[in-house]
């Protein structure tokens, strides 16, 4: 379907181009700042009260109509993202295959890498972000949280947990109780 020009002009001002940086694609998602449906997909009013999926509109505004029967699929697995180069036209099967290839079913990066193997909770990440903002050294924070310095650095750059906001200073525990198992391992290293 072709999109009328006035609609196109209204579209991009609703897009926040500073979303989380995708760890594999290496570029930030562009998030739909308007209304979203229950699944998180953006909804754009193309006129006459007709709503269309925002990511689909974004792809079409950039590349032309999506062939009949195909979906606009997300490389980044982030439903509100409307960045055209994070999207590709495909069948529902393509979408699922792409998801499996990227391991969507194992680590859901768009929700902040909350995989079953995630080393940190969202609350810990929020504290870490506050400490980084306050200028504390990554190496000290890593030691307190008992994680690698590389992980702290990825949080600092937004490569991981890009959607978690820093905690208010008052909520930050600056001398957290480290996990005893982790400490035992560290002591083992020193021996």
Distance between CA atoms of 133 and 127, rounded to whole angstroms? 10
CB of 128 to Zn ion, least distance (A): 24
Distance between CA atoms of 5 and 2, rounded to whole angstroms? 9
Distance between CA atoms of 68 and 5, rounded to whole angstroms? 21
Contact flags string 46-85 toward Zn ion, x per CB under 5 A: ------------------------------x-x--x-x--
User: Which residues in 119-178 contact Zn ion (CB under 5 A)?
Assistant: none
Question: What is the size of the binding site for Zn ion (CB under 5 A)?
Answer: 6
Query: Which residue, chain included where needed, has tokens 């974004």?
Result: 58
User: Which residues in 5-34 contact Zn ion (CB under 5 A)?
Assistant: 29
Of 101, 104, 61, 103, give the one whose Cα is nearest residue 79. 104
Between 81 and 145, CB nearer to Zn ion? 81
User: Which residues in 102-121 contact Zn ion (CB under 5 A)?
Assistant: none
Whether the CB-CB separation of 15 and 32 falls below 8 Å is answered with yes
Which residues of the chain form contacts with Zn ion (CB under 5 A)? Answer: 29, 76, 78, 81, 83, 86
């Amino acid at each position: 379907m072709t999109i009328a020009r006035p609609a196109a002009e209204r579209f991009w001002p609703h897009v926040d181009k500073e979303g989380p940086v995708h760890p594999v694609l290496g570029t930030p998602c562009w998030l739909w700042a308007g209304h979203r449906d229950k699944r998180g997909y953006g909804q754009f009013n193309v006129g006459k009260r007709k709503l269309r999926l925002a990511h689909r509109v974004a792809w079409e505004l950039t590349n032309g109509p999506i062939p009949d029967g195909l979906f606009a699929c997300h490389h980044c697995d982030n439903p509100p993202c409307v960045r055209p180069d994070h999207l590709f036209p495909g069948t529902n099967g393509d979408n699922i295959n792409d998801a499996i290839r990227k391991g969507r079913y194992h680590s859901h990066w768009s929700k902040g890498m909350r995989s079953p193997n995630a080393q940190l909770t969202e609350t810990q990440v929020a504290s870490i972000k506050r400490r980084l903002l306050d200028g504390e050294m990554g190496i000290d924070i890593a030691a307190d949280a008992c994680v690698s310095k590389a992980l702290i650095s990825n949080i600092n750059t937004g490569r991981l947990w890009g959607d978690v906001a820093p905690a208010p200073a008052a909520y930050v525990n600056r001398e957290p109780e480290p996990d005893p198992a982790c400490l035992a391992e560290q002591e083992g290293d020193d021996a």
